[in-house]
C-alpha cells in the first residue's frame, strides 16, 4: 500500500522542504524587484503555499494543510529572514531564484502527486495535480511581481515539462509498487536536473508550425 511506503511523516517532510525552497525563490525575486520586507514575506508565502492550497482544495483536504500546520506558515517566514540578511549579490540573484525554484518544482511535483493519489485520485489525475502543485505557486509569484508567468512564455526555458516528468515518474512508481523515499527523491531530482539543464541550454517547447512572422510576438 502507498501509505506503507510513504508515511505521513515523509509526506510532511517533503512538503516542508518544498515550501522552504519555494519560499526562498519567492523572497529572492522580491529582492530583485526591490520589495520591502513585508513584500518579501508575502511573495515567499504565496510562492510556497499557493500550489499546495490549490491541491488541497481540489482533493477535498480541508481545511488546507497551510491553515492547520503552523510549520507551513512559519517556514516561509524563516526563509524570508534568511534572504533578508543573507541574500546574494544583485548580479547573482536571478540565477539563485532559478536554482531554488527548480528545487521546489522537483519536490512539489512528487509530493503533490503522492498526496493526490493518497486521497483517491487515479494516477493520471494525481500526476496532473502534482504538476499543478509544482507550478501554481510560481505562477502566483510572477503575477504578484508583475511578470508574465514563466509557464506561459514561449521565450522562457522549459518549466512545466520537468515537473510533468517528475510527476509522471512518481505516478509510475506508485503503479508498480516501487515508491519509497529513495525513488521519490530520484523523481524529484530528475525534475530538478531537467529544469537546470533547460535553463543552462535554453531548452524551449515548440510553438505552432508555419507561423507567418516572428515580428508580431507582442501583438
Q: What's this model's pTM, rounded to 2 decimal places? A: 0.84
Residue 116 domain-assigned (yes or no)? yes
pLDDT band at 219 (very low <50, low <70, confident <90, very high): very low
Instruction: Provide CB contacts within 8 A for 133, sequence distance 6+.
Output: 51, 52, 54, 55, 108, 109, 111, 112, 113, 115, 116
Residue 185 domain-assigned (yes or no)? yes
Range of the domain at 40: 2-201
Residue 45 domain-assigned (yes or no)? yes
Residue 211 domain-assigned (yes or no)? no
Residue 68 domain-assigned (yes or no)? yes
Residue 55 domain-assigned (yes or no)? yes
The pLDDT value recorded for residue 1 is 43
Residue 215 domain-assigned (yes or no)? no
Residue that is written with C-alpha cell 523523481 in the block: 187
The pLDDT value recorded for residue 153 is 80
DSSP 145: T
The pLDDT value recorded for residue 89 is 61
Q: Report the alpha-carbon distance of residue 69 to residue 78 in Å, rounded.
A: 15
CB 41 within 8 A of CB 77: yes
Give rounded-to-5 percent helix, strand, coil for the chain: 75, 0, 25
Percent of the chain with pLDDT over 70: 89
Q: Report the alpha-carbon distance of residue 94 to residue 65 in Å, rounded.
A: 30
The pLDDT value recorded for residue 96 is 76
Question: At residue 3, does pLDDT exceed 50?
Answer: no
State pLDDT tens for residues 18-73: 899 889 889 988 988 999 999 999 999 999 999 999 999 999 999 998 899 999 99
Give the total number of structural domains in the chain: 1
The pLDDT value recorded for residue 214 is 52
State pLDDT tens for residues 171-204: 999 999 999 889 999 999 999 999 999 999 999 8
Residue 216 domain-assigned (yes or no)? no
Q: Lowest mean pLDDT: which of 8-12, 16-20, 159-163, 179-183? A: 8-12
Instruction: Provide CB contacts within 8 A for 1, sequence distance 6+.
Output: none
Amino acid at each position: 500500500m502507498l501509505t506503507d511506503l510513504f508515511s505521513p511523516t515523509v509526506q510532511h517532510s517533503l512538503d516542508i522542504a518544498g515550501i522552504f525552497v519555494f519560499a526562498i525563490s519567492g523572497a529572492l525575486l522580491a529582492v530583485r524587484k526591490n520589495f520591502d520586507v513585508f513584500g518579501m514575506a508575502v511573495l515567499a508565502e504565496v510562492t510556497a503555499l499557493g500550489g499546495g492550497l490549490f491541491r488541497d482544495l481540489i482533493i477535498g483536504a480541508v481545511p488546507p494543510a497551510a491553515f492547520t500546520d503552523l510549520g507551513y506558515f512559519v517556514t516561509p517566514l524563516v526563509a524570508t529572514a534568511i534572504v533578508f540578511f543573507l541574500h546574494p549579490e544583485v548580479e547573482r540573484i536571478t540565477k539563485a531564484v532559478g536554482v531554488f525554484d527548480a528545487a521546489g518544482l522537483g519536490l512539489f511535483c512528487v509530493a503533490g502527486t503522492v498526496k493526490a493519489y493518497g486521497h483517491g485520485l487515479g494516477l493520471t489525475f494525481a500526476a496532473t495535480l502534482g504538476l499543478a502543485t509544482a507550478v501554481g505557486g510560481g505562477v502566483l509569484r510572477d503575477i504578484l511581481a508583475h511578470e508574465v508567468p514563466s509557464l506561459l512564455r514561449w521565450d522562457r526555458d522549459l518549466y512545466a515539462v520537468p515537473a510533468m516528468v517528475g510527476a509522471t515518474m512518481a505516478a509510475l512508481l506508485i503503479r508498480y509498487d516501487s515508491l519509497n523515499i529513495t525513488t521519490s527523491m530520484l523523481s524529484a531530482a530528475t525534475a530538478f536536473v531537467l529544469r537546470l539543464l533547460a535553463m543552462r541550454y535554453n531548452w524551449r517547447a515548440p510553438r505552432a508550425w508555419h507561423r507567418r512572422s516572428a515580428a508580431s510576438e507582442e501583438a
